[in-house]
Amino acid sequence: MEEYFMKRTFIILVLLVMASTVTSEEVDFSAANLQLNNGDTVVFDGVRVDGFGFSSKDDALKLKFKFDLDSLSFKLDTSDVVYYKGVGIFDGQCMVNDAPVTSVTTNEEEQEIESRQPFYTANTDATYRKNKENFTVVAGGLIEASKTNYTFAGSKEKPFIAEFDLQPNQVMSWHINRPGKTVAYQLIAPEIQNGEGVIEPGEVIASGELEKGDKLLLGPVRILRAGIYKLQMNIVSKDQSALFLLKVYNGNGGELKTLINNTHLRESFELNTASCSKFQVSLNRDEVLKVPAPGNKNVSIKLVNNRSKIISQTDSSNGDLVYKETDKNNDYYLFIYNKAGERANYGGRIKIVLDKPEGTEK
């Protein structure tokens, strides 16, 4: 009943937007990802709303519009409205909200170590090597996503299927490496209940073929909706079985940190993952934020506001990120992320300096 009410609310607010009776301050399309599908469908993923029971800082919408030949206009597909309640601020592969803690262990110093890596299961055994020893997780056993490469097998009679129980604010990468034969893969989103209450198959997030000996990084996939995501691989060639390596990782495994003047950052990004480091920074009027440009071409930096809109960005081919606050005190979010899935490092000292307006005494 609540989901039905929220969908009706979405329909009403979108109709208001289309009729220009809702101001741009209440409904913001500017930070949404725009997708064009099949030439007749427009999708806005990440629309922000203030009011109607929603917060532009916490909630987002996914709206699909289809072209109607009778009216020669785009109309909202009311059967496919998706809301992301409480997902927080995000842009691309980076999310401000921390991913949920999935496990807690104790190290040799008896300190508790929290992990934000999700668990998954596979229909075949998983083998891996640690400290020069071989280990096996039997089919159906829980496997924690991590920096470990697991070896799996698939066959003509039994295609490989892994199921991932994912939660909002996880940002997932799947690295498939060195299949023994040519394989066809599919990454599938959870099943969804449409506006009429009918359960429909999940959409295919990614699909294709991987040749023998190749490697592929699927993702980053930003998880906004909880559910079971599936990775399936079928052998295409005549051979009956094949081995391959699989590494699964949540790139939003760190915690949000606060930046102040003279903060010295040292960030490392692992191979074959799409990772992001995130920071909150508060700026007063006339304060200037200066962030050194990355020296590595695979690292990018961007600054977003509390509506998830990018207000400044840079990479190794541009200069430092510089942003001056011209309004009242505001909070911003700095993302430093690995855009290519290669091993990389970033280091730099953050500066927040007061830039006095012209005409004032120095």
Average pLDDT for the chain:
87
Higher per-residue pLDDT: 41 or 31: 41
Model confidence at 362, pLDDT cuts 50, 70, 90, reads very low
**Burial letters for 235-251: b for 16+ Cβ neighbours within 10 Å, e otherwise?**
bbeeeeebebbbbbbbb
Residue 195 reports pLDDT greater than 70: no
Greatest mean pLDDT range, 63-77, 190-204, 306-320? 306-320
CATH class of 257-354: mainly beta
Residue 5 reports pLDDT greater than 90: no
Per-domain boundaries in the chain: 2-86, 117-250, 257-354
DSSP reduced 3-state for 42? strand
pLDDT of residue 7: 55
Higher per-residue pLDDT: 338 or 241: 338
* Distance, CA of 332 to CA of 358 (rounded, Å): 25
Tokens of 358: 């012209």
**Burial letters for 67-88: b for 16+ Cβ neighbours within 10 Å, e otherwise?**
eeeeeeeeebeeebbbbbbebb
Tokens of 95: 């999310």
Q: 2-86: which CATH topology?
A: Nuclear Transport Factor 2; Chain: A, (3.10.450)
Same topology for domains 2-86 and 257-354, yes or no? no
CATH class of 117-250: mainly beta
Full-model pTM: 0.85
